[in-house]
Structure 1
Amino acid sequence: MATTRRTQQERRVHAEAALLNAAAELVVEHGVRSLTLARVGERAGYSRGIVTHHFGSKQALLERLARSTQAGFVPGLADLPPGLDRLLRLIDGYVGALGDAGTMHRAFLLLWAEAATASDLAPIFRERDEAFRRDLRDDVAAAITDGDVPPDTEPDDVAVAVVGQLRGIGLQRLLDPRAVDTARLRHTVTDHWRQALRPIDVGGGDGHPYQIPR
């Protein structure tokens, strides 16, 4: 019985992955307006009924797609403590990953842009952006505590600016890949934030100026 349950679970995971990938492909190729459960099932090689069985509705499918595309986009961050180093690594890794963004992430960016005028998508992407900003705010707040960022820095403002910049670069990359050299740009953007968040050089308690990690 245990073996049968594991096999069923594996089949479920495989089917859901195939359906999400099919949905992402359709969004990239034809836009979210053309996305239907029937088309997703057909693209994945299943019936519409199995799409409904797994997700229940188009809205639930889009919510799952939005969550799954962001998971692990920048690897190697989970083991890093919040702080300036983690923030800069996230920025660098995000821009770098845009150079080889797969179908899932391209679909996320298109859906994110669509959410500005689509009431059914807006709540999903407001929640995803808030989660992203919260992660960035934690890094900035920790960096302030560590003395790596000026104490008058506003974590909320930094988070909004970083998310806007990263998402904007991603959309530009989708529109005109040749105009956005992510291999070079990642260093430019990361260095911009390293410099922007640098504390003013003043004497520390030990007589030495504050230094920002590089």
Structure 2
Amino acid sequence: MTWNLPNILTILRLLAAPGLAVMFLYFQRPYADWFALLLFVSASLTDWVDGYLARAWKQETKIGAMLDPIADKAMVIIALMVIVGFSSMSPWLVLPATVILFREVFVSGLREYLGDTAGTLKVTNLAKWKTTTQMVAIAVLFLQGIFEHYLGLSLAGLDPQVVAETLAGGGADPNGLRWKATAMEWAERAGLWLLWLAAALTLVTGMDYLRKALPFLKEVR
């Protein structure tokens, strides 16, 4: 393996993927949410940086080309697992997450089956947009979890009627309930819209890969 900077960044991103789940094992919320968000955003940025450096410095390698999509898939799958695990299991979240997870596993299986001919399933520009949309959606959903947790902390011990009146816009709001609730609501909406968009792109690119692989899947009689 060539230990150049692009490959090192790819390996660091791959190692960061399980770190997202580990954050919630060793840290209390909301610190775990913050650490996971910072780790995910930092690792996601390396996805663009390592590719740019590899092309600019002419350091593209086979090992880098292999590990780069694996690192992306690991980041997305583990992040979605964590988000769904800490969610209320809303179908608006679970359904697009299921589509994304199924597609990633399916395409990985196709590549493994095709072996030497897997080069026919090269990453397309639309697939890159799909990955970018997934990562932005996940980052926003991590942020939504942070706002939700801070809102929950602010609600502790308050009278439900006072909370309802405050959220409705009446009276003073010393605990910042209104802005926290608004931020949580908008982050949730934006995150879900982006996740559904990512799921749609996931389906389109998955069908495109299947179409390209079909000639190699026909049995020779």
- TM normalised by structure 1 equals 0.32
| TM-score normalised according to structure 2 size | 0.31
Greater relative contact order structure (CA < 8 Å, 6+ sep): 2
